[in-house]
Amino acid sequence: MGSSSGSDRTPSTPKSKRRRQSRYSAFLYLLPAAVVIFVFRLLPIVSSFYISFFRWGLIRGPFLGLGNYGRMLQDPKFWQSLINTIYFVVGMVPASLFLSLFIAVLLSKKIKAMGVFRTTYFLPVVTSLVAVSMVWKWIYHPEMGLANYFLQLVGVDKLLWLSESTGVIKLALGGMGITVPDWAGGPSLALYAIIIMSVWKGLGYNIIIFLAGLQNIPEQYYEAARIDGAGARASFWHITWPILSPITFYVLMVTTITTFQVFTQIWMMTTPQGGPLGTTKVIVFYLYEQGFMEGFDRGYASAIALILFLILLSLSILQRRLVERKVHYA
């Protein structure tokens, strides 16, 4: 009995060894990526959460508990930066989404020099954001910029673009003689100018994503729709839009997250104080200002970073709950 049971276990031993070796090999392959994620992702997140409870300059100061978060609630500059960020997201995300889809639909047609058009639209994506910001800063120059040059061609007065703190709604309605209070004036012209530049800069990436989805839609669907008498508009709403809904949802999520983290163009195109009267000071810019410019208050900056993380997390969950219901994965 004993020898027979021993002989029964013997054949399974090599298999179990190979299984363990395979498991260890998998862990070894994952280890470098896990170390990078831990060191450059998880550890900074945990450290930032810890630092947010202290008055932390170059070295750790006294424990404040929720003091940094209470200070944030009473900080008018924080609320201004948050409102500016919301303006930026509301202006950037819909425009980028619909323009990129519209251009992708046009580029999916069979026209001459298609590769040239696709390359042209994608070039801003691979161009340095710093270089693009400096070029657009010259485009918006009040005296020598191309923006004002074209406005004058159509009979519109010069604009101060990056130096104008008045809201675009107030500017537009004020020209018609309608008085608008400051709180309803909308984003400043300076912030709106940066929104235009940012939409142009990121358009190519979304176009490529939509083009990939459009090219995977079987042509038979459109042929069947044409046989049934459907026009181009009906084909788009009943075929293209539902099939592209997973890609649209992905683009919406990614664009929202990256737009909340805007920083480089704000820094390069406006003054170090965040534009005219702080009207272009977004939340990441204010975070950087508090952590690395005004007294090196890393504790307060970490608290702002955590609030930004919670905002993005809440928006992502909300988008998954409300928008993903209408996504057709089949």
Q: In this structure, what CATH number is given to the domain that contains residue 253? A: 1.10.3720.10
Cα distance between residue 288 and residue 262, in whole Å: 12
Using one digit for the tens of pLDDT, what is the confidence trace for 253-262?
Answer: 999 999 999 9
- Tell whether 167 and 252 lie within a shared domain: yes
- Tell whether 100 and 198 lie within a shared domain: yes
Is there a contact between 327 and 246 (Cβ–Cβ < 8 Å)? yes
306 part of a folded domain: yes
**Strand partners of residue 188:** 167
- Tell whether 22 and 156 lie within a shared domain: no
Tell the residue number behind the tokens 């997973």, with chain if given: 246
Q: What is the pLDDT along the chain (330 residues), one digit of tens a residue?
A: 444 444 444 455 677 777 777 778 888 888 999 999 999 989 988 999 999 999 888 788 898 889 999 999 999 999 999 999 999 999 999 999 999 999 999 888 877 777 788 888 889 999 999 999 999 999 999 999 999 999 999 988 889 999 999 999 988 888 788 888 887 888 999 999 999 999 999 999 999 999 989 988 888 998 998 888 888 889 999 899 999 999 999 999 999 999 999 999 999 998 776 788 889 999 999 999 999 887 789 999 999 999 999 999 999 999 888 888 888 776
Cα distance between residue 290 and residue 52, in whole Å: 13
Q: What angle do CA 87, 92, 96 make, to 5 degrees?
A: 165
What is residue 59's predicted lDDT score, i.e. its pLDDT? 81
Reduce the DSSP state of residue 187 to 3 states and report it: coil
- The pTM of this model reads 0.87
Q: Tell me which of 53, 68, 83 is where a domain ends.
A: 68
Tell the residue number behind the tokens 């485009």, with chain if given: 139
- Tell whether 40 and 129 lie within a shared domain: no
Q: What angle do CA 126, 261, 258 make, to 5 degrees?
A: 55
What is residue 307's predicted lDDT score, i.e. its pLDDT? 95
8 part of a folded domain: no
103 part of a folded domain: yes
7 part of a folded domain: no
What is residue 11's predicted lDDT score, i.e. its pLDDT? 52
**Strand partners of residue 56:** 60
Cα distance between residue 167 and residue 84, in whole Å: 11
1 part of a folded domain: no
> CA-CA distances (angstroms) from residue 118 to 135, 207, 210, 255?
22, 9, 12, 20
What is residue 1's predicted lDDT score, i.e. its pLDDT? 44
* DSSP state at residue 288: H
Domain count, the chain: 2
Pair of tokens at residue 330: 């089949």
What is residue 27's predicted lDDT score, i.e. its pLDDT? 85
- Tell whether 22 and 131 lie within a shared domain: no
Q: Tell me which of 43, 68, 93 is where a domain ends.
A: 68
HSE on the CB side for 243, CA within 13 Å?
Answer: 17
- Tell whether 151 and 30 lie within a shared domain: no
Cα distance between residue 206 and residue 248, in whole Å: 9
4 part of a folded domain: no
- Tell whether 203 and 123 lie within a shared domain: yes
What is residue 3's predicted lDDT score, i.e. its pLDDT? 47
- Tell whether 50 and 82 lie within a shared domain: no
- Tell whether 28 and 161 lie within a shared domain: no
Tell the residue number behind the tokens 């410019």, with chain if given: 293
- Tell whether 278 and 138 lie within a shared domain: yes
Orientation angle between helical segments 298-322 and 43-51, nearest 10 degrees: 120
**Best CA proximity match to 90, nearest among 187, 175, 227:** 187
Tell the residue number behind the tokens 């013997």, with chain if given: 10
User: Backbone dihedral region of 231: left (phi > 0), alpha (psi from -120 to 50 degrees) or beta?
Assistant: beta
Question: How many CB atoms neighbour CB 307 within 10 A?
Answer: 18
Is there a contact between 319 and 253 (Cβ–Cβ < 8 Å)? yes
85 part of a folded domain: yes
Tell me the residue range of the domain where 249 lies: 69-326
Is there a contact between 147 and 161 (Cβ–Cβ < 8 Å)? yes
Q: If you write DSSP's letter for every residue of 64-109 in order, what string do you get?
A: -TTHHHHHHHT-HHHHHHHHHHHHHHHHHHHHHHHHHHHHHHHHTS
- Tell whether 43 and 150 lie within a shared domain: no
- Tell whether 51 and 171 lie within a shared domain: no
47 part of a folded domain: yes
Is there a contact between 274 and 281 (Cβ–Cβ < 8 Å)? yes
